Chain A
Amino acid sequence: MTNQTVTSATPHVVADLPPDTTPAAVTLERVTKVFNDAAGVPPVLQDLSLRVGAGEFVCLLGASGCGKSTLLNLVAGLDSPTTGQIEVPGGKTALMFQESALFPWLTAGKNIELALRLSGVPRTEWKAEIARLLDLVHLSGQENKRIHELSGGMRQRVALARALAQRARILLMDEPFAALDAITRDVLHEELHRIWREADLTVIFVTHNVREAVRLGQRVLLMSSRPGMFVRQWQIDIEGPRRIESPAVSALSAEITEDLRREIRRHGR
């Protein structure tokens, strides 16, 4: 477990990769995002720089108002930065939301089919692809289920299958498991890790849950709020199977939580 501190005193904070890693899948260069130009309103994101390596699993951690979701929207191309550069060499990203965001007028299978269709996958391959993706998230045979007939955890797995159907190499996740109970979330962490490895994805995972970030990420970035900036990052290399209750996860979570609290306290003054 190594940890690098990027002090917030530096005007230009770079959350960089360790030097020995693979080419970048996502690069942010001094990105600033301002929603309201009125005087006295701090930017949502200020001067952010970030490189995420291909195949890396990065967790962004921060209290509310730190602009985590805004950052994902920028990378997803749903919004554009006020200043700065965002580069996604692979081009395509898939975004998963907190609520399942599946279309309730379609069945589970048809939700996936729509993603395949809009991604230009030939019609003849749809059926086999839907079966493969549902199998991947352990929901074989559920394609004809209506969304309201599925539990919260199952919905998020269908949403994951739909995101994978887009054939994007980069998966952006905006607190996707926040609304689930602890046991379901735990199972989904396991599934996500398995799929991340099997499908060779790059994942940027946003959460406010410290343990979740430590459980999942290879790297955890702590963000400050108003303006959103990177405060500190941790490179995590816990050996062996990592579980939410592992002592190593607990120990690092305690340390990060302490930092997060310090960040939040700063706003009370």
Chain B
Amino acid sequence: MAVSTPPARDDVGSLEAGLDALETPVSPTDKHAGAKRILGSVWPPILAIIVLILFWWAAYALKLKPEFVLPSPASAWQSFLTGLESGTTQQAIFNSLQRAFVGFLISVVLGTVIGLALAKSSIFRRGFGPLITGLQILPSVAWVPAAIIWFGLSNEAMLFVVIMGATPSIANGIKSGVDQIPTLYPRVGKMLGAHGFNQIRFVILPASLPGYLAGLRQGWAFAWRSLMAAELIVFSPALGLGLGQVLDQNRTLGDMAGVMATIISILFVGILVELCFFAPLERRVLRQRGLLGDKL
């Protein structure tokens, strides 16, 4: 009877090794998982686009409206190709992206500082919190007249509108990101010796990253649409043409096919930035933290 004999030291070591092996999650290794995922996420939107174009074409073919009001998908495509050939479309996309990007970057800096202040100071939060949420609801196109009066028909005017559009979303994003941090993490940080700036750098910012990223994503969407609103109105020969200005030109020329082609360009640039930048970034952050579940 050796029932109550205490196991030797080596036995504990092998027991531990066995437990570690048993309790480590086994992840399936599928080499083609990445390719399958991309394929699986590509075909449904393409199918949806085909369906939409079919509806558009049907409405056109039924002659519901005269052609100068409702052009065919083919003529919009033609107009898009012409824009590409002359290089105006590329130039407009480049100009717009550049403005949106600069405005977005400034908004990230401002929004982060304001968001951290909202999260960390209860007086600041009570005072400015509702105001900033209000600004987030306010359509940023409302700032365009003020921007024109203050900055004239200039790049600064457009930048101002973009910043007013994007900053509140980013600030609220990081605020709610910080609010959702489990109370344990700041305590652990304190125990490890992270105080003041180190606490923000090593604990608060990384812990709030998922909420922060959601805020950045929304901030980008607001930046892009604010810029389009500003570009539609702020027009001066001295400024480079952006997509919004091209759109307004199409309208004055009564070029409906051009209008459709430009709207679709604006849409696709927005989708492209989302797909190529924000979506992969968010996936990466969530996967690192094991928050993606089985959706590898």
Contacts and interface: CB of A to CB of B under 8 A. Distances in A.
Interface stretch (A42-50, A204-212, A242-250): A242-250
B190 A97 contact: no
A109 B13 CA distance: 22
A52 to B, nearest CB: 18
B184 A148 contact: no
A63 interface: no
Q: Which of B16, B20, B187, B198 lies at the interface centre, i.e. has the most chain A CB atoms within 10 A of its CB?
A: B16
Interface in A216-230: none
Nearest to A194: B9
Nearest to A73: B187
A92 B20 CA distance: 31
Nearest to B210: A105
Contacts of B134: none
A85 interface: no
A31 B4 CA distance: 43
A78 B183 CA distance: 13
A104 interface: yes
A190 B12 contact: yes
Contacts of B191: 76, 78, 94-95, 166
Interface in A179-236: 183-184, 187, 190-191
A187 B207 contact: no
A103 to B, nearest CB: 7
Contact of A149 (B13, B207, B209, B290): B290
Contacts of B184: 97, 99, 101
A166 B23 contact: no
B275 interface: no
B283 to A, nearest CB: 14
A97 B188 contact: yes
Contact of B23 (A78, A146, A153): A153
Given A103-B206, A166-B193, A190-B12, A149 B188 contact: no
Q: Which of B4, B23, B192 lies at the interface centre, i.e. has the most chain A CB atoms within 10 A of its CB?
A: B192
Given A104-B289, A190-B12, A241-B6, A151 B19 contact: yes
Contacts of B17: 138
Contacts of A264: none
Contacts of A149: 24-25, 27, 290
A103 B206 CA distance: 9
Given A118-B192, A151-B24, A153-B19, A103 B185 contact: yes
A105 B207 contact: yes
A101 to B, nearest CB: 5
Contact of B289 (A95, A105, A154, A184): A105
A15 B19 CA distance: 38
A241 B20 CA distance: 24
Nearest to A116: B192
Contacts of A139: 20
A187 B6 contact: no
A115 interface: yes
A238 to B, nearest CB: 12
A56 to B, nearest CB: 21
13 contacts: A78-B191, A101-B188, A103-B207, A105-B288, A115-B192, A118-B194, A138-B16, A153-B20, A183-B15, A184-B23, A191-B12, A245-B4, A246-B4
Given A118-B193, A166-B192, A183-B15, 10 more contacts: A103-B203, A114-B192, A118-B194, A147-B289, A152-B23, A153-B20, A153-B23, A162-B192, A187-B15, A190-B12
Q: Give 10 closest A-B pairs by Cβ, nearest first.
A: A148-B290, A151-B23, A118-B193, A104-B289, A105-B206, A190-B12, A241-B6, A243-B6, A95-B191, A101-B188
